[in-house]
Structure 1
Amino acid sequence: MAVYSMTGYASGQSAPAAGPGEGDAREASGARLGLEIRAVNSRFLDLTFKLPEELRQHEPALRELLTRHLKRGKVELRAAIDNGSASGMGEPSPRLLQRLNAAQDAIKAWLPQAAELSVADVLRLAAQEGSRPASAADFDAPALAIRVLESLLDARAREGERLVLTLQERLQGLRALAQQAAPIIPRLVEQQRTRFLERWNEAMGLVANQASADTAQDRALAEATAFAIRIDVAEELTRLSAHLDEIERLLAQGGEIGKRLDFLIQELHREANTLGSKSAALELTRIGVDMKVLIEQMREQVQNIE
C-alpha cells in the first residue's frame, strides 16, 4: 500500500449539464462550477466546507465522500458557481433571428423612425436569451468532487513517496551512528579498568601486607565493573535498532501508519536521550547529539503522514 501525506491540493471545474435543445447556449454562456480541496496535517480528520447556499444541499454527500477516502488531516473543500455570461459569444440561432426580425418589423410599423438592430445588439440579446444564471441543478457536483478528490489523493501519494525517501535516508544515518557508538563503550570500559588498577597499584605500592593489596585490587575491579554498568548503552542501542527495523517495516507496509510512526519516533528520542546521559566520552556525546538532530528531522516528516 502507498504511504500518503496529509498535505495536498487539487482543483477542478465542470460545465453545466445541458438540457434538451440548449446544449450550445448553455456551453456558450461560460458558466462553470469550480471546486478545490486543500489539506494539511492534523491529528484527526477535520472537515470544513465553504459552499454557496445553492450548493449546500450537496454537503452530506461530499462529507461522506471525503470521510470514506481520507483518514486524517485538516481538509477544506470550497465550491462556487461562476456564471461568466459576459464572456459568452454564441452564434444566434435561426429561431432567435426570426423572432428578432419579426419584433423589429412590428416595432417599425408603429415607430418608423426607430433605429434598426445592430450586430452588437443581436449578439447581446442572443447571449441574454441563451444563458439564464446557472444554478446547482445544472451541475453534477458529486461527480466533480470525485475527480478533484482523485487528484488530491494522487498528489498526497506523490508527497508520501518523497517523505518515505527522506525517512529512509534518516534511518540509514541513525544506523551509521549506532555502528559508530557500539565499539566505543568496550574501549572506554577497558581504559577505565586499566586506570583504576594503576591508581590502586600506586596507592598500595608501599603496603607490605599482600592480603591488603589483593583486597585493594578486588575493590578496583569492582569499581571498574560498576563504571562499566553505568556507561553501558548496549541495551539502548539494541532497542534503537529494533525501533528502526519497525519503522522500515511500516514504511514498506504503507497505509495508515502516521500515528504508529509518531509513537516510534518518541521511543527513538527516549533512547537517544538515555545514550546521551550515559555518555562518558566526547565522541559518544557527539553521536548522541547527531542522533537527536536526525530524529527531530524525522519527527517533522512523520507529522505529515496519514
Structure 2
Amino acid sequence: MALQSMTGFARREGTSGRWRWAWELRSVNGKGLDLRLRLPPGLERMEVDVRRMAGETFSRGNMQANLSVSAGENRFETVLNQDALATVLALRDQLAGIIDPEPLKLDTLLSIRGLVEFRESEDSEDALAARDADVVSGLVGALADLKLMREQEGAALSRVLLDHVSTIERLTQTIERDPSRSPQEIAERLKTQVAMLLDGTAALDRDRLHAEAALLATKADLREEIDRLKAHVAAARELLAKGGPVGRKLDFLAQEFNRESNTICSKSNASAVTAAGIELKVVIDQFREQVQNLE
C-alpha cells in the first residue's frame, strides 16, 4: 500500500447534455479527515454521497471540494395565460359596436401584461438524472487524480524520510563506537577523578567513593539508549515499507527518537558523543517535520 502525502490538487470537468460541470479538490495537512464542501443550489442532496466517497478514499487531510454546474445553452418556452386571453377576446366582443373591430395582432397581444410569459424550459427527469450521474462519475475521477498526486508526493517523502533514518542509524553507530564508551576508558577516567579527590584528603571514605563511582559509571552507560534507537530505526523502515496511513505512528517514533537523543546528550561525558547527539537531534527534528505531511 502506497504512502500518501496530505497535500494535493485535482480538477475534473465535463459536459452532460446542455450542462457543464467542474470539480476542484484541494488537500492540505490535517489531524483527521475534514471535508469542506461547496455545492451549487439544487444539488445539496449529493453531500452525503460526496462525504462517503471521500472517506472511502482518504483517512487524513483538510480537504476542500467545490462543484460548479452551469447551463451551456439557455432554452426558453412560452406559456399562454388562457384565462387572460379569453378575457381580452370577450372585451373585444363587448366593444364591437363602440370601437373599430380590427383583428388582434401578435405585438398587441404580447404587450398585454400577464398574457404571455417567457421562461427557461426545464430538463426532463431523465436528463437531470444523466447529468447527476456524470457529475458523480467526475467526482470519482477527481478523487482518483487527487489520490495519485498524494501518492506521488508520498513516494518523494518516503525517500527523504529513509535518508533521515539512515543518518540516524549512522549517528547511532558513531556514538556506539566512540572510544569514550569502552569499559577501560570509563574506568580510567573514574580512577583519575577518584585519585584527585583522595589526594591529600584523608576524611573521604575510599569504599564509599568507589561505590559512588560505580553508580556514576552505570548511569553514564548508553547501551539502553543505543539499543532503543536501533529498534526505532528498524520500526521506521518497516512502517515506510508497509505504506498506508502510517503518519501518526511515524510521528510517535519521532518523539521516541527525540527522547533517546536527549538522554544521550545528558549522559554524555565525551565531546564526540555530545556532538553526535546534537546532530542526531537536528536530523530527528527534520524527520518529524516531514512526517507531519504524511497521511
CA-to-aligned-CA distance 1:213-233 (integer Å, 9 cap, x gap): 9x84x5554343223112111
Q: What is the rounded CA distance, in whole Å, between the counterparts of 2:42 and 2:272 in structure 1?
A: 67
Aligned twin of 1:264: 253
Distance in 2 (alpha carbons) for counterparts of 1:255 and 1:200 = 59
| TM superposition shift of 1:69 | 1.2
CA offset digits 1:234-264 (Å, max 9, x no partner): 1111111111111111111112211111111
In 2: Cα distance, 1:189 partner to 1:132 partner: 92
2:213 aligned partner: 224
1:118 corresponding residue in structure 2: none
Which residue number corresponds to residue 74 of structure 1? 62
Residues 1:193 and 2:187 are matched in the alignment? no
Q: Distance in 1 between matches of 2:128 and 2:254?
A: 47
**1:137-176 alignment, distance < 5 Å:** 137=129, 138-139=131-132, 140-176=134-170
Q: How does 1:1-306 map to 2 (within 5 A)?
A: 1-16=1-16, 18=17, 26=18, 31-84=19-72, 137=129, 138-139=131-132, 140-184=134-178, 185-187=180-182, 188-196=185-193, 198-199=195-196, 202-203=199-200, 216=206, 221-306=210-295
TM-score calculated relative to the size of structure 1: 0.71
Going by fraction, where is helix more abundant, 1 or 2? 1
Matched letter for residue 266 of structure 1: Q
Instruction: Name the CA distance, whole Å, in 2 between partners of 1:76 and 1:133.
Output: 31
Q: How many residues get paired?
A: 243
2 CA distance for matches of 1:271 and 1:133? 69
Q: Per-residue deviation at 1:193?
A: 2.8
Alpha-carbon shift at residue 55 of structure 1 (Å): 2.3
How far, CA to CA, are the matches of 1:266 and 1:39 in structure 2?
26
For 2:151, give the aligned amino acid: A
1:175-208 Cα distance to aligned partner (Å, 9 max, x none): 111111113342451441341354367548xx9x
Contact preservation (8 Å) 1:269, 1:295: yes
Query: Equivalents in 2 of 1:136, 1:59: separation in Å?
Result: 17
Query: Secondary structure, in 3 states, of the residue corresponding to 1:54?
Result: coil
Structure 2 alignment gaps of length 5 or more? 75-104, 106-119
Task: Provide the C-alpha distance between the structure 1 equivalents of 2:157 and 2:220, rounded to a whole number of angstroms.
Answer: 35
Shift of the 133–270 alpha-carbon distance from structure 1 to 2, 3 Å rule, reads farther
- 3-state SS of the aligned residue for 1:46? strand
Structure 2 distance, partners of 1:60, 1:186, is 62
Give the TM-score of the pair, scaled to structure 2: 0.74
Task: Give 5+ residue unaligned stretches, structure 1.
Answer: 19-25, 87-109, 111-130
Task: Please give the secondary structure, in 1, of the residue aligned with 2:293.
Answer: coil
Following TM superposition, by how much is the alpha carbon of 1:85 offset from its aligned partner in structure 2, in angstroms?
5.2
Question: For residues 256 and 286 of structure 2, what CA distance do their matches in structure 1 show?
Answer: 15
Aligned partner of 1:113 in structure 2 is none
